[in-house]
Amino acid sequence: MIRLIAISNPRAGQAFIDYMASRQIDVQMMPEGEGQFALWLADSQHQAEAEAELQAFLHDPTGRKYQSASWDMAESRTAHFTYPRQKILTAIKQNAGPFTLFIMVVCIIAYAGLTLGFGNEVFSLLHFPATDDQQWQLWRLFTHALLHFSATHIVFNLLWWWVLGGKIEKISGSAKLVQLFLLTALFSGLGQYVFDGPAFGGMSGVVYALLGYLWLMGTLAPSRGLSIEPSYVGFMLLWLVVGFFEPFGMAIANMAHLFGLVSGCAIAVFDAKFSRAARNPS
């Protein structure tokens, strides 16, 4: 299933569900807490159509065609809202591709090593190159992104990696996500190293890159089906600014965040304007 949007008005959500049902497209609604309800698309092959129809619905949610669809579907509905129960692992797999899941597993294994008595060995193997004898150990330019130093650190980063990376991989394929991971891990790591040295780790630079990529792709090339909700962008940009003040004494790789965001935006500009798909939109 693919998460389309979160809304606060379940009646409006049901109108959209009914309209999509009239087009033989299954959209379901699930509560998310704090008065929010998420709309989930059951079949990914209808994603482009569902997202286009959703944008049209948001511009005119009281349109006649939506009211008519609700009236037509009322008799066939056994309940106003259905909240299908999903197993956590099933939901994770359905909303992520193989590379998304692979990186999540590797990060979890690395974190387990750090917390189970192998911290020095894991960090020494994966950290950004810091000495002359490590400068040709090229894997270090990327594997620093796999290191996490607290439960909050890894949960926050992997959640965003799953949401953002999973969306990119589902729509654009595994090769694009691999490319984004490698390029943005490299640039975010270099930026952090130049300003603060090699003692850092984590996926957050890559996460900010994916944020920037989805943000600009949704603006510059909306037909590609890649976008992100403005509320997500606002939250992450606010956290980017707050991070420079190091709240509560937290050690935050702020330059990795900044360089990651810039590199993700740069790749989006290239993909939207200069890539083969941009030159041949058909």
> Strand order in 2-7's β-sheet?
2-7, 36-41, 27-33
CB–CB of 154/108 below 8 Å?
yes
Q: What is the pLDDT of residues 89-113, one digit of tens each?
A: 777 777 889 999 999 999 999 999 9
- Domain end residue (candidates: 39, 56, 85): 85
pLDDT at 80 over 80: no
Range of the domain at 107: 90-279
Q: What's residue 279's pLDDT?
A: 59
Question: pLDDT: is 57 or 173 the higher one?
Answer: 173
Among candidates 191, 93, 79, which has minimal Cα distance to 144?
191
Active site residue 257: yes
- Domain end residue (candidates: 68, 85, 102): 85
71 and 182 in a common domain: no
Catalytic one of 46, 227, 257, 263? 257
138 and 46 in a common domain: no
115 and 183 in a common domain: yes
Q: What is the pLDDT of residues 111-160, one digit of tens each?
A: 999 999 898 999 999 999 988 888 899 999 999 999 999 999 999 999 99
* Model confidence band, residue 34 (pLDDT cutoffs 50, 70, 90): low
Identify the DSSP state of 128.
Answer: P
Catalytic one of 70, 172, 188, 204? 204
DSSP-assigned beta bridge partners for residue 38 = 6, 30
Tokens for 151, please give them.
Answer: 């439960």
Q: How many domains does the chain have?
A: 2
Q: What's residue 85's pLDDT?
A: 53
- Domain end residue (candidates: 40, 62, 85): 85
The CATH number for 9's domain is 3.30.70.2350
Active site residue 8: no
62 and 161 in a common domain: no
254 and 172 in a common domain: yes
Following CA atoms 256, 258, 263, 265 in sequence, which dihedral angle do they give, to the nearest 10 degrees?
150
Q: What is the pLDDT of residues 238-252, one digit of tens each?
A: 989 998 887 766 778
256 and 198 in a common domain: yes
Tell the residue number behind the tokens 């939901």, with chain if given.
Answer: 91
